[in-house]
Structure 1
Amino acid sequence: MVPDVGVHIAVFRVAIVIYRGEKIYKTVKTAMKTIQVNSNMNCNSWSQIQENSSIWNKNLLPCPNTLRQVKVARAQYEPDAMCREDGFISFNCWFQQGRQQFNEDSAIACFRSVQSNVHGTSGECCYNRGGYIITRGTGAGSDDRYHSGHTFWKHQFDDVLPLLACCKLETDIEACNKYFQYRPSRRGSDTMGQFGGTWGDPHFLTLDGTSYTFNGHSEYIYLVIPTEQSIKFDSSVSLQLESQIRTVPLEGIRNKVTAIKTFAARMVSMNVSIIVSRRNQVVVRLNNDELLFLLDEDALTEVNTTTLSFEDFSIIKNQTNGQLTLSWSIGVSIQVTPVFVNTTSTVVLNVGTALSGELKGNWTLGLIGGYDGNPANDLRTKNGTLVGSIDSLTSKQIHERTCYYDAAITNDISFGRASWHAAEEQIEQRESLRNPPKLSDDLSLTHSVKTGQQVNILFNATSEFTTIIACKLLHGPSESTLEERTGQYRWKVPEETTIGSSIPVQVSATDETYSLTSTYEVELTVEPRNNAQTKTSSIFLLILVVSLQVLCVQQEITQK
């Protein structure tokens, strides 16, 4: 369904209304006034005052290559309420519909970066039905001058309204190209983050993949992110983020079973704690004030969640299972899930952590290890000394150890199953972040070609898992070819090709080990042949014609 909007618009109004049963519990209304002139004039006026995007779009989080990756990258990206995979509002993903006449993909889900750079800029990543990132056309995500969550109205006026004026309400191709010039499309990257966590009678999976069990009874440093890279904890060094867990024995069980009852975190002057009370109530406090997750107009709500947003921090509560997701703008997301232990009639907490890939490299300390890609150095004391040796476990062994151990020691099968599911979720999330083959960064999203030219493009793909990668031509001119193993693309541009036309070429690359696939799309723009060459040829022909005429005249004179 296309919203009823005309070329002459006075007010642009976006309203999101999502129903839960028969109750409307979320309404976000925005109103934007525009000058009552045609969209082309609006687009021109906007473009004339724009800075080059390279001034403000540096250091933005790269987009994950696949929908599967971005859905679990909760420390880096959050769903776009206007374009959700399961969205059912009447104009869901309307802004990200591709133009069929240009063979553009339409988005079925988009995600916005949680963080912004120093310029207040954010990025949006959009994905097609195949689950691959869209990098071309109106279906693609873009670099937005303003973060929609931090400066909502600036984003509407400087990013959304120009899209309407230049592309959605305008048929002029050049006007839409002008928009993409100042709000460039986003390409995919393999710089994903990682997961770690703890569950049950505490079992741990570090950010680098080390699995171990630690049945301590006290307060422990769970995750610390210092302002300087280090392998040891120094209390005199300022911290970007500090978090702790408190484990206590479960009453009524003879075996020494401990579980997490409290999680607390601090960033600058903002302290948040999640505590299981004596009455088995999960209490959330922010700076000693209890937070109430009510379904009212002050809380941003979705189908079964309530979101409370603060500066550089947000917390989401799932109203169905009580799960709490805490996200900080530095690229950290911690998920706290309450679990009920039947044999002791008590609630304990499982804690999962997602980190941005930008924090990789001795930026983390605590029970979930140092995030540097080396699982052998994850277990350290406060002063950085390595502790014990590492057992290499398969995902099946991690599942079985945690499930059987917790079920046996608590005599509670449901608790063991909960531990199984927690371990399974951790493993699945880590697997979802596996990177598909990466196409060379040297590849440009656009190429200029000329009629009669032999086009050669090398789609060079590499994988961290294998050297065997199969390439496939998904879309391109019928006369073009692609070598499956080398990624060498060839096409002779026909002489009759229309000057100014844009021809998309889409290639996929699949690795042999995990059958992970990435796609890459290049737009070939047909330009006229070199004017200098054409002019030189014309002059040469003119001289030749004149010379022939002179020779003919001289021959006639001689004959006479």
Structure 2
Amino acid sequence: MTEWSQPMPLGWLLRHYWRREFGQNRWQQNFCQKWFEREDQNEYFATTLFRCPCTLAQALHDKGRFAPDERCNVVDKKCDQRHLGAQHCVRSARPSIGGSGQQCCYDDYGELIRSADTMYSGRPSRTFVYGKHPFKMQMQTPTLSYWQHDVMPFYYCCKWAPKEDDSETCMMFNYFRTTQDCSSYQPPAIASVFGDPHIITFDRVNYTFNGRGEYSLVHTNNPIHKLDIHGRFERLPGHVNATQLTAVSVRDNVSSIVEFRIRPDGCRWFNQIFIIADKEYLYYWDDNMRTIHTRGVSIYQPSGIRNMSHLIAMFDSGAGVEVLVNGGGTLTLHVYLPLTYMNSTQGLLGYYSNDPNDDFMLPNGWVIANLHDKNIKQIHEEFGIKYRLLEIAQANISQSLFFHDVLTHSQYDDVKFIPQFDMDPQQLEHMDDVDR
């Protein structure tokens, strides 16, 4: 079955029949009571969800766990029907382990709207709006399961009830769909690669690394998480011995291997980035298409972007990878990791521990003390090149995840490359252009 349009509530069409069947103003109560009894027999799902961010600013910066609602957001502004008074809502980017979802809405002051204040708040949902693999099971069908178990009960318990917010049926609805507070919310750690390339670790240590080839940015392998994020650095055009980030490849647990590769200069007139998932090229083939779903990952193109120059990959673990094409034609990368990744990461983006002194951890677990006080050459030789990727697996580094369909790994890899650690003013001016 294929659904070509958005679902819509048909109470206005069928209410006359329902009034004859159940009585005036009793048909809503009848449907709500049956839904309440079914919910009472089902498992409690809300404990498996990510908690809502406390403010809109936090929600907008948590790009691994939350994505803008497809209707109620600051761009589309279609909030009146189910979230009256909200300026922006976000949804959990991926379904929980049981296939549920989270929704959080914020008012004009950027504060979380709660169901205790209004029926138009965000709320957890028993089913995820985009379904859950393998999709052919009960409560896992995209859109339709969500409407049956979460949206329609809101209409006949609250919106269509005679007293709406103050009705007994709306209180019944809120019993199972109460907005969760943000008391246990923890913002993600963020690390970045941009420009020259400059690197900012999860613990906010800044340094520059000009390796050439493929390198491990993040490696985690423990009983909870298995995450690898790899970066490809290629030489800048011209005769400058410096590099730039041109591709990123990611795998989270058993997810698809997702690769973001910047297009060549002559091919960026339409789309800016190639998306490759498990060696298959993916595209946004419709202007209204915002999200691509593949195994264990959702790839989101923000509203207003039509040329694939800004993409966000969101994984089941809550990890997020954001890539952007800047004015100089290089990739900018932001990585978002939830608190559960603390004390488990290695790679060029550092050891995430909230302690900047142990960020430069080598693959063997040794920490190079005070390396951030050393010069670029020392950081390059003593730390950066230790995370060089090969085509075979290495302990605490993994093996290259990139799809080598055009050039081989050895054609990108340059062991003998020595960057120019000291540059004259003219070369530095060129590097400023790349950073911008």
- Which range moved further: 405-414 or 59-68? 405-414
Is structure 2 residue 337 aligned with structure 1 residue 348?
Answer: no
Match of 1:314 among 275, 295, 298: 298
Aligned residue runs from structure 1 range 519-558, under 5 A: none
| 8 Å CA contact 2:236, 2:242 repeated in 1 | yes
Q: In the superposition, relative to structure 1, how do residues 33 and 312 fare at CA in structure 2: closer, same or farther (>3 Å)?
A: farther
Q: In the superposition, relative to structure 1, how do residues 115 and 406 fare at CA in structure 2: closer, same or farther (>3 Å)?
A: farther
Deviations 1:94-122 (A, max 9, x none): 2123xxxxxxxx32221111233332122
User: Residue 194 of structure 1 corresponds to which residue in structure 2?
Assistant: 189
- Alpha-carbon distance, 1:47 to partner: 1.1
| 8 Å CA contact 2:213, 2:232 repeated in 1 | yes
Q: In the superposition, relative to structure 1, how do residues 413 and 248 fare at CA in structure 2: closer, same or farther (>3 Å)?
A: closer
User: Residue 245 of structure 2 corresponds to which residue in structure 1?
Assistant: 260
Aligned residue runs from structure 1 range 282-293, under 5 A: 282-293=273-284
Structure 2 gaps of 5+ residues are: 19-26, 132-139, 268-272, 374-422
Deviations 1:407-451 (A, max 9, x none): 863533762661xxxxxxxxxxxxxxxxxxxxxxxxxxxxxxxxx
Match of 1:325 among 312, 328, 331: 312
- Alpha-carbon distance, 1:160 to partner: 0.7
SS of residue paired to 2:300: strand
- In 1: Cα distance, 2:147 partner to 2:111 partner: 27
| 8 Å CA contact 1:326, 1:335 repeated in 2 | yes
- In 2: Cα distance, 1:320 partner to 1:118 partner: 33
Match of 1:49 among 10, 30, 38: 38
| 8 Å CA contact 2:77, 2:87 repeated in 1 | no
Q: In the superposition, relative to structure 1, how do residues 370 and 408 fare at CA in structure 2: closer, same or farther (>3 Å)?
A: farther
Q: In the superposition, relative to structure 1, how do residues 247 and 72 fare at CA in structure 2: closer, same or farther (>3 Å)?
A: same
- Alpha-carbon distance, 1:51 to partner: 2.4
Deviations 1:209-248 (A, max 9, x none): 111111212211012232337xxxxxxxxx6221211212
- Alpha-carbon distance, 1:388 to partner: 4.3
Q: Which has the larger radius of gyration?
A: 1
Q: In the superposition, relative to structure 1, how do residues 280 and 327 fare at CA in structure 2: closer, same or farther (>3 Å)?
A: farther
Is structure 2 residue 133 aligned with structure 1 residue 132?
Answer: no
Q: In the superposition, relative to structure 1, how do residues 340 and 112 fare at CA in structure 2: closer, same or farther (>3 Å)?
A: closer
SS of residue paired to 2:82: helix
Q: In the superposition, relative to structure 1, how do residues 142 and 407 fare at CA in structure 2: closer, same or farther (>3 Å)?
A: farther
Match of 2:322 among 335, 338, 341: 335
User: Residue 30 of structure 1 corresponds to which residue in structure 2?
Assistant: 7
Is structure 2 residue 405 aligned with structure 1 residue 412?
Answer: no
| 8 Å CA contact 1:50, 1:182 repeated in 2 | yes
Is structure 2 residue 198 aligned with structure 1 residue 212?
Answer: no
User: Residue 69 of structure 1 corresponds to which residue in structure 2?
Assistant: 58
User: Residue 113 of structure 1 corresponds to which residue in structure 2?
Assistant: 92
| 8 Å CA contact 1:313, 1:329 repeated in 2 | yes
Calculate percent identity across the aligned residue pairs: 22
- In 2: Cα distance, 1:367 partner to 1:51 partner: 49
Letter in 2 for 1:140: S
SS of residue paired to 1:314: strand
| 8 Å CA contact 1:257, 1:410 repeated in 2 | no
SS of residue paired to 2:365: coil
| 8 Å CA contact 1:228, 1:363 repeated in 2 | no
- Which range moved further: 160-169 or 365-374? 365-374
User: Residue 378 of structure 1 corresponds to which residue in structure 2?
Assistant: 359
Q: In the superposition, relative to structure 1, how do residues 223 and 30 fare at CA in structure 2: closer, same or farther (>3 Å)?
A: same
- Alpha-carbon distance, 1:351 to partner: 1.2
Q: In the superposition, relative to structure 1, how do residues 246 and 124 fare at CA in structure 2: closer, same or farther (>3 Å)?
A: same
Match of 1:83 among 69, 72, 80: 72
- In 2: Cα distance, 1:52 partner to 1:181 partner: 14
User: Residue 146 of structure 1 corresponds to which residue in structure 2?
Assistant: 127
SS of residue paired to 2:29: helix
Match of 1:247 among 227, 233, 247: 233
Q: In the superposition, relative to structure 1, how do residues 72 and 93 fare at CA in structure 2: closer, same or farther (>3 Å)?
A: farther
SS of residue paired to 1:166: helix
- Alpha-carbon distance, 1:370 to partner: 2.2
- In 2: Cα distance, 1:374 partner to 1:219 partner: 27
In terms of fraction of residues, the more strand-rich structure is: 1
Aligned residue runs from structure 1 range 364-513, under 5 A: 364-389=345-370, 391=372, 409-412=427-430, 415=433, 418=436
User: Residue 94 of structure 1 corresponds to which residue in structure 2?
Assistant: 81
Q: TM-score, normalised by structure 1?
A: 0.57
Is structure 2 residue 179 aligned with structure 1 residue 185?
Answer: yes
SS of residue paired to 2:113: coil
Deviations 1:482-536 (A, max 9, x none): xxxxxxxxxxxxxxxxxxxxxxxxxxxxxxxxxxxxxxxxxxxxxxxxxxxxxxx
Q: In the superposition, relative to structure 1, how do residues 354 and 76 fare at CA in structure 2: closer, same or farther (>3 Å)?
A: same
Is structure 2 residue 216 aligned with structure 1 residue 221?
Answer: yes
- In 1: Cα distance, 2:262 partner to 2:326 partner: 11
- In 2: Cα distance, 1:408 partner to 1:222 partner: 30
Match of 2:161 among 160, 170, 183: 170
Cα RMSD of the aligned pairs, angstroms, is 2.9
- In 2: Cα distance, 1:269 partner to 1:140 partner: 32
Q: In the superposition, relative to structure 1, how do residues 314 and 118 fare at CA in structure 2: closer, same or farther (>3 Å)?
A: closer
Is structure 2 residue 264 aligned with structure 1 residue 272?
Answer: no
Deviations 1:351-407 (A, max 9, x none): 111122333x22322111222222221111111111241659xxxxxxxxxxxx998
- In 2: Cα distance, 1:278 partner to 1:416 partner: 16
| 8 Å CA contact 2:203, 2:355 repeated in 1 | yes
Letter in 1 for 2:211: G
Is structure 2 residue 141 aligned with structure 1 residue 123?
Answer: no
- Which range moved further: 158-167 or 220-229? 220-229
| 8 Å CA contact 1:201, 1:259 repeated in 2 | yes
Letter in 1 for 2:151: V
- In 1: Cα distance, 2:187 partner to 2:424 partner: 32
| 8 Å CA contact 2:201, 2:359 repeated in 1 | yes
- In 2: Cα distance, 1:414 partner to 1:225 partner: 33
- Alpha-carbon distance, 1:291 to partner: 2.0
